[in-house]
Amino acid sequence: MKNSITEIARRADVSIATVSRALNNDSRVKESTRNRIQRIAREINYRPNLLARGFALKRSNIIGLIMPELVDEYFTEVIKGVEAEAIANGYYTMVASTHNREGSIVDTLDRFSHNRMVDGLILLTTFQTAATKRALGETGIPLVVIGDDPLLTHADVVKIDNFQGAYSLISYLVSQKGYRKIAHITGPPGNLDANRRKEGYLAALAKLGLEINPAWMVEGQFTIESGKSAFQRLMSLNEKPDLIFAANDRMAIGCYEGAGALGLRIPTDIGIAGFDDIFVSRFLTPRLTTVGVPITEVGKTAASLLLSRLAGTEPLRTREVIISTGIVPGDSV
Amino acid sequence: MKNSITEIARRADVSIATVSRALNNDSRVKESTRNRIQRIAREINYRPNLLARGFALKRSNIIGLIMPELVDEYFTEVIKGVEAEAIANGYYTMVASTHNREGSIVDTLDRFSHNRMVDGLILLTTFQTAATKRALGETGIPLVVIGDDPLLTHADVVKIDNFQGAYSLISYLVSQKGYRKIAHITGPPGNLDANRRKEGYLAALAKLGLEINPAWMVEGQFTIESGKSAFQRLMSLNEKPDLIFAANDRMAIGCYEGAGALGLRIPTDIGIAGFDDIFVSRFLTPRLTTVGVPITEVGKTAASLLLSRLAGTEPLRTREVIISTGIVPGDSV
DNA sequence: CTGTTAGCGCGTTCAC
DNA sequence: GTGAACGCGCTAACAG
């Protein structure tokens, strides 16, 4: 048995046009006709062929979500937020993880934006190259970028307030906890979040009139291992810091491991602070002091921006939403 | 400018059929013609309209992944595994989170399987009702179920070896660590993984000739909080266990919290073991002894089963793959 | 080797 | 209020 509007039309003894109208609640169809058609549709468990509909309408009702390789709960949360918002508005979500390779981000972007499979795109990047930027300019479909980029002219942007988060954290550590010699383990050089966090750190130190010691800024890779090495480097200096602010929680965990290896106690011998408030941070001993980010909200906001644009009711100018962060006090400082 | 095979045909001065063949590497097209066509396609940055192609072929090249509400890295890992396998085979992945409500699982299943949006489905369930089972039987498209269900006749199944994992863990705790009075915090009653873990626990006790004390089996909900309450209940018994096996790591974390509140030390005063080896378990103090599950592999396997079936080269009978688990020794026992 | 044509299921004119 | 006819971009069958 077929299962199309043609079949329903045959059974209801009307034309396919009438069926189409009835199923889409077109007010021109007589009520009795509409009811009859809808009943038949239910009986044969009719579902519109979304491929056919999308083809006819040039619209898939799918939004694409492009992310680097999935790690942490960070990505789960974003997916969750996007998906919830999408479903609530009749859209599906297609996830593409690009495995952190620059080439594949561009590829994925290019593919998705030109093959008409998705109506709009949400891109989560942690770094930005010329190639990516170029590809972003050529999508031709509505685009929302999640990330601490400079404002893009053709895309809405959702950014986490990394600067403020770091700035507030340092201020808190100095004014409330009395730290003066604050080191920083940065993230990978090109990482946008990492860069903004570093700027917040530097700005806070400057504002507070504290020493900015170049030796106290060590580069990390956002991994536990790199956090541990950075910690060891810092602890081998003649003039040691009294607190280490790691640009993410994973590296802070590395510091815990480093401290354990050296027999140093936190926060007695050295204070540790992180950024992200990932799930595990709550269970570290002592509980990590860090900066919390409402990640699900990031996803929801991104989806919401995209959907409103797809609905066509939005102005043409791009928008930028900043998601604020908050200090999560722990016992590591 | 249009961007379709019609446009390419116009420029190359051939028919659209030839263009279609050339782009799909049909061997019947003369090489020079094919090269010319492919060059033109590249020049105008042509991408096939996937909606149109899918419509014509009655095939979307999308696989659907239905999951309960996303929690833990468990789901991230599954998505990662599925997505990697799918992309490698020219498929896209559509994620639908059903928010743990029975009704919506059935809805999603029904919708996905009848609207022709996906070619096949992977369903991850932690519980199974009659309604779900019925819906599963009516999909009409290839289906892979991830979960410790009884064998389904019309779906391939990927299951984690919960039974063996629990059985081995208990055996290890008894023979290597000398525990004799082993309590168990179960998962939610209908949860399939939880049930199998309990069976493994009971079977091991029986086999080892150890007492099965009903008071030592307390129901939990797979949450930290429920683990904590269960712990408190167990510790208030006259005859206390010397080890608690929690059916998942989250509840084991609850036990840690409970122990902390009562001033009990792990493993000196009470041993704790879990199941899952989630990321955080490595950072608990002391490190949790638990059972590890290669989750990415679960996703990969599921996708692989589905794709091979979609490729049509597979036999009709359903297959079942059991993913084995392994003890992760920690310092909590 | 290549062209012509039908048809996939749907929404949407344009008639009546 | 309803129907007939068209077209979306592509693949496949058939014809040459």
Residue bearing tokens 């061997």: B27
Task: Write down the pLDDT at residue A68.
Answer: 80
pLDDT on residue A71? 65
Per-residue pLDDT at B102 exceeds 70: no
Chain B: give the shortest CA distance to residue A60, in Å: 8
> Of the candidates B47, B51, B75, which has its C-beta nearest A55's C-beta?
B51
Instruction: Give the gap in angstroms from C-alpha A269 to the nearest C-alpha of chain B.
Output: 19
Which among A3, A115, A256 is the nearest to B49, CB-wise? A115
Is B332 among the domain residues?
no
pLDDT at A127: 77
pLDDT the model gives residue A173: 97
Query: Taking a contact as any Cβ pair under 8 Å apart, which residues of chain A between 245 and 264 contact chain B?
Result: 253, 256
Q: Which of A249-253, B2-6, B178-182 has the lowest mean pLDDT?
A: B2-6
Instruction: Please give the tally of structural domains in chain A.
Output: 3
Same domain, residue pair B150 and B202: no
Name the protein residue, with chain letter, whose CA is nearest the C1' of D8.
Answer: A56
- Chain B residue nearest residue A57, CA to CA: B51
Whether residue B101 is predicted with pLDDT greater than 70 in this model: the reply is no
Residue B326 lies in a domain: no
Tell me: do A80 and A153 sit in the same domain: yes
CA of B15 to C1' of D16 (A): 14
Task: For residue A24, give the nucleotide whose C1' atom is nearest its CA.
Answer: C11
* pLDDT per residue as tens digits for the range B273-292: 999 999 999 999 899 999 99
Mean pLDDT of the residues in chain B? 91
Q: What is the pLDDT of residue B299?
A: 95
Domain with B190 in it: 162-292
Q: Are residues A115 and A66 in the same domain?
A: yes
Domain identity same for A116 and A78: yes
Alpha-carbon torsion, ordered A208, A214, A217, A218, to 10 deg: 180
Q: Evaluate if residue A95 carries a pLDDT over 80.
A: yes
Q: Is residue B174 assigned to a domain? A: yes
pLDDT tens readout for residues A25-59: 888 888 889 999 999 999 999 999 999 999 999 99
The confidence band for B313, taking pLDDT boundaries of 50, 70 and 90, is low
Which of A87, A95, A110 is the closest to B93 by Cβ?
A: A95
* pLDDT at site A126: 80
Among A274-278, B107-111, B194-198, the range scoring the smallest mean pLDDT is: B107-111
Whole-number pLDDT of residue B76: 82
Asked if the structure places residue A55 within a domain, the reply is no
Judge: B73–A76 Cβ closer than 8 Å, yes or no. yes
CA-nearest of A165, A161, A119, A114 to A144 is A119
Helices (H), B209-280: 224-235, 249-262
Same domain, B171 and B282: yes
Contact of A147 with A126, CB cutoff 8 Å: yes
Question: Is the distance between the Cβ of B324 and the closest atom of strand D smaller than 7 Å?
Answer: no
Check pLDDT > 80 for residue A150.
Answer: no
Chain-wide mean pLDDT for chain A?
91
Per-residue pLDDT at A106: 84
- CB-based contact B73 A73, cutoff 8 Å: yes
CB contact under 8 A, A76 and B76: yes
Note whether A55 contacts B: Cβ–Cβ < 8 A: yes
B274 and B198 inside one domain: yes
B152 and B193 together in one domain: no
Å separating the CA of residue B19 from the C1' of nucleotide D12? 13
Residue B54 lies in a domain: no
Distance A139 CA to C6 C1' (A): 34
Chain D footprint bases within 7 A of protein beta carbons? 1-5, 7-13
pLDDT given at position B111 = 86
Neighbours of A42 (CB within 10 A): 9
A255 within a domain of the structure (yes/no): yes
Provide the pLDDT confidence category of residue B174 given band limits of 50, 70 and 90: very high
Q: Where are the beta strands (DSSP E) in chain A?
A: 62-67, 92-97, 120-124, 143-146, 156-160, 182-186, 217-219, 243-246, 271-273, 290-292, 320-323, 326-328
| B chain contacts of residue A54, beta-carbon cutoff 8 Å | 51, 55
Same domain, B179 and B109: no
Please indicate, yes or no, whether residues B282 and B180 belong to a single structural domain of this protein.
Answer: yes
Which CATH number characterizes residue A201's domain? 3.40.50.2300
- A168 and A287: one domain? yes
Neighbours of A316 (CB within 10 A): 6
Sequence-distant (6+) residues with CB within 8 A of A221 are A187, A188
> Would you say residue B327 lies in a domain?
no
CB pairs under 8 A between A and B: 119
Report the percent of chain A where pLDDT is more than 70: 95
- Asked if A139 and A245 sit in the same domain, the reply is no
Q: How does residue B266 score in pLDDT terms, banded at 50, 70 and 90?
A: very high
Could you tell me if A38 and A98 lie in one domain? no
In the three-class reduction of DSSP (H, G, I as helix; E, B as strand; rest coil), residue B295 is classed as: helix
- A316 or A318: which carries more pLDDT confidence? A318
Give the model's pLDDT for residue B269: 97
Residue A332 domain-assigned?
no
User: Between the ranges A84-93, A100-109, A311-320, B63-72, where is the mean pLDDT highest?
Assistant: A84-93
